[in-house]
Chain A
């Protein structure tokens, strides 16, 4: 019999709650029992309440297709299904080091019964109801292996792109309806078209991997779990607009992703998917990871370009747009990780396929992230149109503390706080805008009824003060004044008058700031004032500093 295959994630979140120790314990126990083991360190499937999630590969007890969801989300995996022969993966979790001897005693390597057994991973309802296009391989493949990536449908999009004219690639992306997943939701195809039309020698593809929004981790999970998907998406972008150099601007807080990306990029060079002659096409694409240095503002695209050039991350005045004058003054595509990672599927399956997911002007799928005070936190990829309530309760299972959910912040620190009365809102860019909120990068941070919304509003202002680049006054000074005004409100100093002053200050920041940091910091503050006004009153003791 060949060696048993066991998957234990090396996703940073899984490691943070013991996956590394579990992997070591499994290897040790196997060796003590004289069992030959193939231990694969995959990304996380994204169900963090089940992590560390250990999977074993066993002979399938049923035809491979029967257990798969019939949703079109699985269509992209059709080739891998046929090559997967008659095996399936069974899940056990959450596993601790102390559980390991018991798992071996229960013969988990052959799917033995155990209290932690969860059955076939794909059949767990939390996964089965998802529509994973961008995350189709995350948690499934070995992130370091080009061969595994290709075996699971990887690089089909690039192959298609290599036999397609640049204009047609751009048209496909345009037709798919893909909008920027970083938060601004600008149509990706239009951005690419603008860069394609520039007649210069040097153009750049840059990936904004400065995922600084609290409550978001989809970029991180993808870069750790399926980094080649990002590499492929950027390579396709290079072919589409005639750029030969790409940079991934990665935040310094993500050392695990840094290692995973560099490993994957080296493997892609080795297999000639990167370099001077991509897959023998004679076309060049080089790719490099650059580390940020702990500045939230560098998630703003012009600030990111400044930082990539080695400068202070101060925002640039637009125009000119980066697509015309970007990195080192050259035409540059700036897209988020998930935007690029959505492109291989679009090229492989076609614009129509992708466009058929979603609602209204929000086409395709979005990897949503359930975070904070939530019972079943993690990554849920669904077509646009799923309701916030379904995410919070059907997937999330309510709050982690078991208390009522009072407020939800969607879209990071610049996103509005949404009250329970609006949980039926659908996940759609326009639907959220209509209730005065924003979708951003799809992070959903949950707070129970113990949250103090004046404190959260104060934090929004304080965060803006800490992270402001300092270039424009409303952001640089307004944020500090905002903290002071909220302190006066809760300190009982002319509370009513200061609430009015806070509203006016928000308006000034909103209208007068150069970029989204100062211009959007009012959103959480205004929404807190609007929906949770009762929290803006004098109390003792006054609020404490955060950072």
Chain B
């Protein structure tokens, strides 16, 4: 964790520690600012919130949403739940893994994409669904998936304007 990052963590927890039951809110803010919750942030949060390190670590690791490693520049979350399965989500997942060359919970070597499973995005009448960087997509096909990936690849790797 960079010194600037630990400053960010300290600032966030100082701002929020007066709220009732603040830890999850703090973790959301830390992840929003840094992209992940660095393990080095745990003792800082524990001390500021008067919790044990184990308690903070326990919360970070309990919730699927919090990650302890930096994400790729784009996070692709594929829905794995029943409604999406009924419309071919398993095949789409295999396709996505092949296209990106990673398994779930992994990030591409160039750091462009992280692939995550998600269990329901509430888009079950437009299955299969995925969320990319907070944007929801429905009725996905392998072709459409490739197009969405290509769009982001060209934006990421293209020449700087």
Binding site for B on A (CB under 8 A): 12-13, 15-17, 48-49, 51, 211-217, 219-220, 252-256, 290-296, 307-313, 328, 369-374, 377-379, 400, 409, 413, 443, 445-448, 451, 456, 459, 463, 466-467, 469, 544, 546-547
Residues of B within 8 A of A294 (CB): 63-65, 118
Residues of B within 8 A of A212 (CB): 119-120
Q: How many Å lie between the Cα of A17 and that of B129 in the bound state?
A: 10
The 3 closest A-B pairs by CB, nearest first: A377-B125, A214-B81, A371-B124
Contact flags (1/0) for B88-123 with A, using CB distance below 8 Å? Answer: 001000000000000010000000000001111111
User: How many whole Å from B140's CB to the nearest CB in chain A?
Assistant: 9
Binding site for A on B (CB under 8 A): 20-25, 27-28, 55, 58-59, 62-66, 80-87, 90, 104, 117-127, 129, 131, 134-139
Residue in B121, B123, B135 with the greatest tally of chain A CB atoms within 10 Å? B123
A372-B82, A546-B90 known; A463 and B119 CB under 8 Å? yes
Complex contact A369–B59 (CB within 8 A): no
A253-B121, A256-B136 known; A215 and B28 CB under 8 Å? no
Q: How many Å lie between the Cα of A252 and that of B27 in the bound state?
A: 12
Residues of B within 8 A of A451 (CB): 86
A219-B122, A290-B25 are known; give 15 further A-B pairs, CB within 8 A: A16-B126, A16-B129, A16-B138, A211-B120, A253-B121, A291-B25, A295-B65, A310-B21, A311-B55, A378-B125, A443-B83, A445-B124, A456-B85, A459-B82, A466-B119
Q: How many Å lie between the Cα of A277 and that of B137 in the bound state?
A: 42
A16-B126, A377-B125, A445-B124 known; A310 and B87 CB under 8 Å? no
Chain B residue, CB-CB nearest to A256? B136
Residues of B within 8 A of A48 (CB): 125-126
Contact of B83 among A211, A214, A293, A307 (CB under 8 A): A214
Chain B residue, CB-CB nearest to A407? B86
Contact of B82 among A13, A290, A309, A409 (CB under 8 A): A409
User: How many whole Å from A318's CB to the nearest CB in chain B?
Assistant: 20
Residues of B within 8 A of A446 (CB): 86
Residues of B within 8 A of A463 (CB): 81, 119
Chain B residue, CB-CB nearest to A245? B20
A253-B131, A312-B58, A443-B124 known; A371 and B119 CB under 8 Å? no
Q: How many Å lie between the Cα of A13 and that of B81 in the bound state?
A: 16
A215-B82, A372-B83 known; A309 and B21 CB under 8 Å? yes
Complex contact A448–B59 (CB within 8 A): no
Complex contact A311–B125 (CB within 8 A): no
User: How many whole Å from B127's CB to the nearest CB in chain A?
Assistant: 6
* A-B pair number, CB within 8 angstroms: 160
Q: How many Å lie between the Cα of A372 and that of B134 in the bound state?
A: 22
Residues of B within 8 A of A448 (CB): 86
Residues of B within 8 A of A308 (CB): 21
Residues of B within 8 A of A311 (CB): 21, 23, 55, 59
A310-B59, A371-B83 known; A217 and B123 CB under 8 Å? yes
Q: How many Å lie between the Cα of A16 and that of B125 in the bound state?
A: 11
Q: How many Å lie between the Cα of A263 and that of B91 in the bound state?
A: 38
Complex contact A313–B63 (CB within 8 A): yes
A312-B62, A451-B86 known; A372 and B127 CB under 8 Å? yes
Q: How many Å lie between the Cα of A253 and that of B21 in the bound state?
A: 21
Residues of A within 8 A of B59 (CB): 310-312
Q: How many Å lie between the Cα of A255 and that of B62 in the bound state?
A: 21
Complex contact B124–A253 (CB within 8 A): no
Chain B residue, CB-CB nearest to A17? B138
Chain A residue, CB-CB nearest to B80? A547
A372-B124, A459-B85, A546-B90 known; A293 and B27 CB under 8 Å? yes
Q: How many Å lie between the Cα of A17 and that of B124 in the bound state?
A: 12
A16-B138, A546-B80, A547-B104 known; A215 and B124 CB under 8 Å? yes
Residues of B within 8 A of A310 (CB): 21-25, 59
Contact of A216 among B86, B122, B129, B131 (CB under 8 A): B122
Contact of A291 among B22, B28, B82, B104 (CB under 8 A): B28
Contact of A373 among B86, B120, B136 (CB under 8 A): B86
Residue in A15, A214, A290, A372 with the greatest tally of chain B CB atoms within 10 Å? A214
Q: How many Å lie between the Cα of A12 and that of B136 in the bound state?
A: 7
User: How many whole Å from A331's CB to the nearest CB in chain B?
Assistant: 16
Complex contact B62–A377 (CB within 8 A): no
Complex contact A13–B125 (CB within 8 A): yes
Q: How many Å lie between the Cα of A372 and that of B127 in the bound state?
A: 6
